[in-house]
Structure 1
Amino acid sequence: MNEKITAQPPKEERQEVLKEIRQLENRKKILENKQRNEERRVRTRRLIERGAILEGIFPLASSLSGAEVKAFLIALSYLPGAVELTANLPKSGDMP
């Protein structure tokens, strides 16, 4: 009666487990990269949309540098009523 021994020696079993761990770690990295890429894509789209809105409302903004646009927006934020207006805006970003 020849019975096959199906149990792996401990060294081979350890190597199999380590291989599986490496594979799972690689899958985790791939998923994390996909998540970061998706978050970056969503942010980029949001920034482009908001930049387009800014240029649509203030056509001169397209010819300004980034620092000039920032200074312009900061100056707008100091106008009377700006703080109250922004405080009353819905959180979803919809127009009031």
Structure 2
Amino acid sequence: MNEKITAHPQKEEREKVLKEIRQLENRQKILENKQRNEERKARTRRLIERGAILEGVFSLAPDLPGVEVKAFLIALSHLPGAAELAAKLPKSGDKP
């Protein structure tokens, strides 16, 4: 008669299931945060690489403020043949 008698086995089972749900939700949040961080790091790396390419190709770029770099690139995009060249580029998300 030393056995522990539980008065509410359904309540204990429910609490156990709710605890497991909370743990899974927390694990999901952790994984989503990791994914967002990886995406942010990939974007940051891509922006840095492209900025370095821009500065390497156009030596004036490091001295220009962002607004002037944007205006310069927009002006380049209006040159004859720029639209056709841009149309031939792979779209974002396309696999090579």
- Which TM class, normalised by the smaller chain length? 0.7 to 0.9
CA-CA distance at 1:91 after TM superposition: 5.0
* Equivalent position amino acid for 1:89 in 2: L
CA-CA distance at 1:59 after TM superposition: 1.2
Instruction: Provide the residue aligned with 1:67 in structure 2.
Output: 67
TM-score of the superposed pair, with normalisation by structure 1: 0.83
Counterpart-to-counterpart distance in 2, 1:20 and 1:58: 57
Unaligned runs of 5+ in 2: none
CA-CA distance at 1:4 after TM superposition: 7.8
1:59 aligned counterpart, secondary structure = coil
* Equivalent position amino acid for 2:50 in 1: R
CA-CA distance at 1:89 after TM superposition: 3.0
CA-CA distance at 1:87 after TM superposition: 1.7
Unaligned runs of 5+ in 1: none
1:71-93 superposed Cα distances (whole Å, 9 cap, x missing partner) = 1100000011111112223458x
Percent identity, please: 81
1:16-49 superposed Cα distances (whole Å, 9 cap, x missing partner) = 0000000000000000000000011111110000
1:1-96 aligned within 5 A = 9-90=9-90
Root-mean-square deviation (CA, aligned residues, Å) is: 2.3
* Equivalent position amino acid for 2:87 in 1: A
* Equivalent position amino acid for 1:85 in 2: L
